Amino acid sequence: MARKSGFVSIIGKPNAGKSTLLNAIFGQSLSIVTAKPQTTRNKVFGVYTHDDIQIVFVDTPGILKPKYKLQVYMKKELESSFVETDLIVLVYDVSKYDAADLKNLSETYKDEFTSKKSFIVLNKIDLLTKEEVLHIISDVFVKTKFDEIIPVSARKKFNIEDFLKTVEKYIPENEFYFDEKTIATQPEKFFVGEIIREYALRLYKEEIPYSIFIEIEEFKEREKGKDYIRANIIIEKESQKGIIIGKGGDMLKHLGELARKDIEEFLGRDVFLELFVKVKPNWKNDEDFLKRNFSNQSAFSN
Residue ranges covered by each domain of the chain: 4-170, 188-293
125: nearest Cα among 88, 166, 163:
163
> CA 139, CA 67: separation in Å to the nearest integer?
33
pLDDT recorded at residue 31: 53
pLDDT at 267 over 90: no
Tell which CATH architecture fits domain 188-293.
2-Layer Sandwich (3.30)
What average pLDDT score do residues 276-285 get? 91
One-letter amino acid at 165 equals K
pLDDT at 53 over 50: yes
User: Which residues lie closer than 8 Å to 144 by C-beta, 6 or more apart?
Assistant: 102, 103, 106, 120
Per-residue pLDDT reduced to its tens digit, 143-195: 999 999 999 999 999 999 999 999 999 999 999 998 898 887 777 888 888 88
Per-residue H/E/C for 103-158: HHHHHHCHHHHHHCEEEEEEECHHHCCHHHHHHHHHHHHHHCCCCEEEECECCCCE
75: nearest Cα among 109, 45, 41:
41
- Determine what percent of the chain falls in helix, strand and coil, rounding each to the nearest 5: 40, 25, 35
What average pLDDT score do residues 283-302 get? 66
Write down the CATH number for the domain with range 4-170.
3.40.50.300
